[in-house]
Every structure is written in C-alpha cells, then in structure tokens.
Amino acid sequence: MHILCHELNMNWTRKGDNIERFVISASEAESQSISKLLPSLVSSAQSLACPSISNFPVAAVELGTSGHIFVGVNMEFPSLPFHHTIHAEQFLLTNMANNVETHLDSFAVSAAPCGHCRQFLQELRDAPDIQILITSHKNPHFSPLSHFLFHHFGPHDLFPKTVPLLLEPRHNALSLPQNDHFNVLAKEFEILS
C-alpha cells in the first residue's frame, strides 16, 4: 500500500505489516507552514493505523524542534483487551523519544484526544501550552492542551523543575550485574543453537 502525500512529493510505504517510515526529514518538511503542513499529512497518515477492533483510524503528526516530522497512529490488538490499544498520541511521543526529540510544541490529530491521552500529554514540560489541531472539527484551529484538560494535575504540581519529564534526557542508574551464572547459561545456549 502506498500513501502519496502530494504537497511534499514523498511516499510513506507499508510493507506487509511492517511500517517503513514514521519520520519525515527536515528537508522534506521545510516547504510549508506548520498550520498547513501538519493537517495535510494527518489523513494520509491515518492509512498507517491498525484499528483492527474499532475500525476507527487515528493519526497524529508533529513537527519537531529538529525540523523532522513525526507520525503516530493507533494500534489495536484483536487478541488483547481494548485497553491495551496504543493511542496515536502515545505512539507519536514514543516515536519522538525513540528519535531523541525532546520537546512537543504542537501537533495535528484526526480526532480529539481521549481523556487518557490528555493526561498522558500533561506529563510533558510546558504541557498546558502544547497546541493541538483536531482535523475532524468543522473549523480546525490550534488550541492549547489546557483548553482540553481543565483543572489539570501533573508533574509540575509534584516535582521541582529540575526533575526530567517525559521526552527529556535522564539517567535511571540501571545496570545489569555481572553474574557468572548468566554467562554460563549464555554459553550453553550458544552450544545448543
């Protein structure tokens, strides 16, 4: 399946069940303004969603501070309960984190974020100021997250500003101990395979 985005003269491809690309380079994105660019990509990106339970494809598209465009779509898994769905906004933030994008200013999404996603977004630095454009609205325009999440409560209510939040670099001080037992098991596994 090919999804052609005429405005940017680029292709997103889907090969079997493996998505080839969920990031658009800065050079491909620089030709349009954010207010026109992001909404124009949302409907094409919806084709990448896997809504196998609800049949309701959702896509979210963001222009990162790096100049790259990031895509997130909803993923549903028929053999799991519906609450195991990956929401487009969650996918978007995971895609950003995976590509070391550290800040979300604005994004366009095909449907209003659910309550879970609104709170998930609240975990970001400067969350109330994140601008959201819902393309399915009659008059789509950017509105701040604070417009969608009244009386919000999040990390800014609990922690000092020095505590890293979602998307921000952190060191968790996790390490695997050196264990001879694991090394022996690994060698035995190599011999068996």
Enzyme catalytic residues: 89
Give the predicted TM-score (pTM) of the model: 0.73
Q: Give residue 49's pLDDT.
A: 96
Least confident window among 134-138, 148-152, 172-176? 172-176
For residue 151, what pLDDT band results from cuts at 50, 70 and 90? Answer: confident
Q: Report, as an integer, the average pLDDT of 107-132.
A: 94
Return the pLDDT at 11: 41
CATH pick for 2-192 out of 3.30.930.10, 3.40.920.10, 3.40.140.10, 3.40.50.720: 3.40.140.10
The answer to which of 7-11, 28-32, 111-115, 122-126 has the lowest mean pLDDT is 7-11
Question: What is the sign, positive or negative, of the torsion defined by CA atoms of 42, 43, 47, 52?
Answer: positive
pLDDT band at 9 (very low <50, low <70, confident <90, very high): very low
Q: What pLDDT is recorded for position 21?
A: 59
More confident residue, 119 or 1: 119
Q: What is the pLDDT of residues 46-105, one digit of tens each?
A: 999 999 999 999 999 998 888 889 999 999 999 999 899 999 999 999 999 999 999 999
Q: Is the pLDDT score of 157 beyond 50?
A: yes
Rounded CA-CA distance 80/184 in Å is: 36
Out of 40-44, 57-61, 95-99, 150-154, pick the least confident: 150-154
Q: Is the pLDDT of residue 30 over 80?
A: no
Adjacent-strand bridge partners of 67 = none
Residues in CB range of 177: below 8 A, 6 or more apart: none
Q: Which of 19-28, 113-122, 171-180 has the lowest mean pLDDT?
A: 19-28
pLDDT at 19: 46
DSSP letter string, 2-31: EEEEGGGTEEEEEETTEE--SEE-HHHHTT
* Domain spans of the chain, in order of start: 2-192
Average pLDDT over residues 104-124: 94
Closest CA to 110 of 145, 70, 76, 59: 59
Q: 157 is written with which tokens? A: 């209510």
Question: For position 31, what pLDDT does the model report?
Answer: 64
